[in-house]
Amino acid sequence: MMLSNFPGLGSLVLGFQVMSLSLVGPHLLWGQNSITASPPPTVARPPIPVRPAQPVRDIASRLELMVDRHLIDQMENTTLKLHEPRPAPPMAEPADSMEYATVIKDGDLFRFYTRDSRGAKFDGDSTEVTRYCESKDGIRWTKPRLGLVELEGSRDNNIILKEAPFCHNFSPFLDTRPGVPASDRFKALAGTVKSGLFGFASADGIRWRKLGDKPLITYTREYAFDSQNVSFWSVAEGCYVCYFRHFLDKKLRSVCRTTSSDFFHWSEPVQLKPNFPGEHLYTTLTHPYFRAPHLYVALPTRFHPERGESTDILFMTTRAEAGGSLFDRTFREAFIRPGLDPARWGNRSNYAALNVVPTGPAEMSIYLTPFRRFTLRTDGFASVHAGADLGQMVTLTLRFQGNHLWVNLSTSAGGNLRLEIQDEAGQPIPGFALADCQPLVGDAIRMRVGWAKGADLASLAGRPIRLRFVMREADLFALQFGPGPD
C-alpha cells in the first residue's frame, strides 16, 4: 500500500483553533516509518518525483535544524527522530535546588536564577525569595555571598530579591537589543494574576530595580501568570516577545503570546492553543535557540492530573517567520521521561530551566529539577534518520547565500550520506549529481560536503535549488550554507 497519493503539506501545527494532519510522501507528519518495501541494500533508490507548486524557502546562510518539516518536501525510508537527552554525572558543586529557574550564558559566565519558596502556602507568598548562582563551565557552581538582602537576621546569602509576589516566578533574560543602555542590560518579568507582570532591569544581573509601579502586562480573560512566564528580545522579529501561562477555556494549562517594541507597551495577548485534546502544558520555556535565533525552542512540562499529577517534558518549536505563534508538534512523545527515580514521578518533579546552553564544543545542556544536568550533542534535538536500509530526503525548493555547505552529521562505520543538488524541476545539476558526491562518513558538528569537481557552490548561490540526501545508518541534524572553507 502506498500513501504517496496524499500530497504533503509541510508541518503539523496547532494554533488559533486550527489542527491539521499532513502527510509527507509515505510518512505521517510525526514520523511513522514508511510502509513500502525497502530495496536490497546494494540498490540505489531512484529520485523522488517533484511535486508542483512548491514554496521556495529562502534560507540565506542560516543554520537550519532538522526539528520539523520546514525544509522537507518528501521522505522515503527515512524518519524524523527525536533524540533523548542523556543525564550527566551528578555535579559535585551544584547550584541551589531549582523550582522555576533560568540559566543565562553571559560570555564566559553562566548565571543561574531560581525561586526558593521556603514553604510558601500560595503563589506570591512573602516567604519566597530569588537566589543567584554562577559558574565558569555550567558544571561547578558557586553561591556568592552578595550581602544584598537580609533574611532571618543575616545578609550572608545569595538572595537577589525578596519582594512579594515577584519572587514566585522572577524570570530574567539578557537583552541583546541593539543600543540597549548598559543599565538595562538584563531585564525580567514577574508577577501573579492579581498583580500582573511587572518589569525589572539590571546592569549586572544581580542588582535589580523595578520598572515603575504598574504592571507592564495584564490579562483578565481567565486565570494566568501562575508559573514561569518568559520573555526575550527576538533578533529575528525585531521586538520583545513574551510567552505566558494561562488556562485555556478555563480548563487546560496553555500559553499566550504578546510582543513589544520597547518592553513597556505590549500588544493584546493572543491565545496560541498548542495543546492536543486534554493536554496540560505547564511552562513552555520558549526561547531562541542560541545557534539559530530564528528558531524558538520550547520545553514545556506536560502535566497529567489523572495520573497522580505526574509530569514529563516535551519538545516543541516555533519559528520567527511564522510570527512565533504556531507551535510545531511533530514530536508528540515525551522528550525527557521521569526515569527510574520514584521521586521524579510526582507533581512539580520535572521542570526544565529556561534556556538550552552550550557547555562544550560539541555539547549543550538542559537543567532539570531539583538540579540535574542533561546533555545533547550540539543541534542534536532531532535528526533525519536512516537505518540499515537506504533512504532519502528531498527538500523543498531553497535559495541560499554562500559558497559551501556544511552538515551536522553522525553515521555508523558502515553508513554514509551523499547529496545531490537539483534544479527546480528535480533534475541533477551537472557536477553536483549523486554520483559526483564524495560520500560522507563519520561524526562531526560541522562537516563540509564536496563533489568530484570540488566543494565550491558560488555558481548556485541565489538560484532556486533542491537538495536530495541519500543516506544509510546516518543522522542528519542540521545544515548550513555559508562562506568557506573555514
Domains (range + CATH), the chain: 28-83+383-482 (2.60.120.260), 86-377 (2.115.10.20)
Q: Pick from 117, 260, 237: which is nearest to 187 by CA?
A: 260
pTM surpassing 0.85? Answer: yes
Confidence bin at 2 (pLDDT 50/70/90): very low
Contact 100, 167 (CB under 8 A): no
Q: How confident is residue 18, by pLDDT bands cut at 50, 70 and 90?
A: very low
> How confident is the model over 407-449, as pLDDT tens digits?
999 999 999 999 999 999 999 999 999 999 999 999 999 999 9
Q: Identify the pLDDT of residue 418.
A: 98
Average pLDDT of the residues of the chain = 91
CB-based contact 405:486 (threshold 8 Å): no
- ∠ Cα 389 392 395 (to 5°): 165
Asked whether residue 25 carries a pLDDT value surpassing 50, the answer given is no
Lowest mean per-residue pLDDT among 32-46, 76-90, 143-157, 304-318: 32-46
| pLDDT the model gives residue 348 | 84
Work out the average pLDDT over 51-76: 92
Among the listed residues 129, 158, 154, the one whose alpha carbon sits nearest the alpha carbon of residue 142: 158
- Summarised one tens digit per residue, pLDDT across range 192-220 is 999 999 999 999 999 999 999 999 999 99
Task: Give the three cell numbers for residue 480.
Answer: 548550513
Catalogue the long-range contacts made by 210-213 (C-beta closer than 8 Å, 24 or more residues apart).
211/263, 211/264
- Residue 434 phi/psi, 5-degree rounding, is -60, -40
Q: In the structure grid, which three cell numbers stand for residue 383, read together?
A: 535528526
Sorting pLDDT into bands at 50, 70 and 90, what band is 55?
confident
Q: Would you state the torsion angle of the CA atoms of residues 386, 389, 395, 400, taken in this order, to the nearest 10 degrees? A: 70
CA pair distance 388, 182, nearest whole angstrom: 54
Instruction: Render pLDDT for 452-464 as a digit per residue (tens, 0 to 9).
Output: 999 999 999 999 9
Mean pLDDT across 21-50 = 43
User: Which residues, at least 6 apart from 155, have a Cβ–Cβ distance to it below 8 Å?
Assistant: 146, 147, 148, 149
Which residue is listed with cell 499529577?
A: 309
Q: What is the dihedral of CA 180, 182, 183, 185, to 10 degrees?
A: 60
Q: Provide the pLDDT for residue 486.
A: 57
Predicted pLDDT of residue 10: 35
Q: Which pLDDT does position 7 carry in this prediction?
A: 33
Q: Supply 340's cell numbers.
A: 527510574
Distance (Å, whole) CA 80 – CA 75: 9
* DSSP H or E segment with residue 382: strand 382-386
The DSSP string of 409-437 is EEEEEEEEEEEEEE-TTSPBPTT-SGGGB
**Nearest CA-CA partner of 365 in 95, 83, 87:** 87
Chain centroid to Cα 52, Å, comes to 31
CA distance linking residue 460 with residue 429, whole number of Å: 9
Q: What is the dihedral sign for C-alpha 58, 48, 405, 299?
A: positive
Cell of 34: 514508511
Asked if 266 and 259 touch (Cβ cutoff 8 Å), the reply is yes
CB 257 within 8 A of CB 198: no
Residue 44's contacts (CB-CB under 8 Å, 6 or more residues apart) are 390, 434, 470
Strand partners, 133: 112
